[in-house]
C-alpha cells in the first residue's frame, strides 16, 4: 500500500499499482493509467470501464470476465481484443478497481 503520483494527483495504490480508493479515480486518471500499459481508450473501452465501475459500486467486487460478458453484454472475445492478454487485470487497473480476486 502506498501513494503514487498519477497525472499530478496523489492516489492510493497497492504493491502492483492498482488504485485502492474508489473515489480517487477520474476519467483523466483512466487515460493516464491506460497509457501506462500502452492502451488508447476508445468509446468501447469506456463502455467496459463504466460498466465495471458501476458494477463494483453495487456488488463491492471487481467483476469477472464472465460477469462483464453476461451482465454487461460485452463478449469475452471482444474483451481480449480491447485489453489484450490479461483483460480482467487490465480493466480493473484502468478503472481504478482492486485487482480481481482470481479466487482461491
Partner 1 sequence: MKRLLVLGAGTAGTMVVNKLRPALARDEWSITVVDQNLDHHYQPAYLFVPFHPASIGKVSRPRQKLLADGVDFVVREVDRVLPDENLVRFGDGSELGYDFLVIASGTVPRPDQTEGMTGEQWRRSVFDFYTLEGATALGERLKTWEGGHLVVHITEMPIKCPPAPLEFAFLADAHFRELGIRDRVDITFVTPLDGAFTKPVASSQLGDMLKRREISLEPDFYIERVDNEAKTIVSYDERVIPFDLLVTVPVNMGAEFIARSRMGDELNYVPVDRHTFVSPKWNNVFAIGDAADLPTSKAGSVAHFAVETFAKNFILHTQGRELPHSFDGHANCFVESGGGKAMLIDFNYDTQPLPGKYPIPGVGPLTLLEESRINHWGKLMFRWIYWNALLPGRRLPVPTAMSMAGKRDISQDTKSTTSKEEV
Residues lying near partner 1 in the complex (CB under 8 A) are found at 15-17, 36-37, 61, 64-67, 70-71, 76-77, 79-80, 84-86, 89-90, 93, 101-104
Least spacing, CB of residue 3 vs partner 1, in Å: 15
> Which sequence positions are flagged as catalytic?
103
- Distances from the Cα of 54 to the Cα of 46, 50, 93, angstroms: 12, 6, 15
Least spacing, CB of residue 52 vs partner 1, in Å: 14
Least spacing, CB of residue 75 vs partner 1, in Å: 9
Which residue's CB is nearer to partner 1, number 21 or number 101?
101
Amino acid at each position: 500500500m502506498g501513494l503514487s503520483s498519477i497525472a499530478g494527483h496523489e492516489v492510493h495504490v497497492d504493491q502492483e499499482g492498482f488504485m485502492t480508493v474508489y473515489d480517487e479515480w477520474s476519467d483523466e486518471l483512466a487515460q493516464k493509467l491506460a497509457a501506462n500499459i500502452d492502451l488508447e481508450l476508445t468509446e468501447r473501452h469506456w463502455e467496459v470501464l463504466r460498466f465495471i465501475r458501476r458494477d463494483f459500486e453495487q456488488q463491492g467486487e471487481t467483476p469477472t470476465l464472465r460477469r462483464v460478458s453476461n451482465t454487461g453484454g460485452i463478449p469475452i472475445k471482444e474483451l481480449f481484443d480491447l485489453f489484450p492478454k490479461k483483460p480482467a487485470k487490465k480493466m480493473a487497473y484502468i478503472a481504478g478497481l482492486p485487482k480481481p480476486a482470481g479466487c482461491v
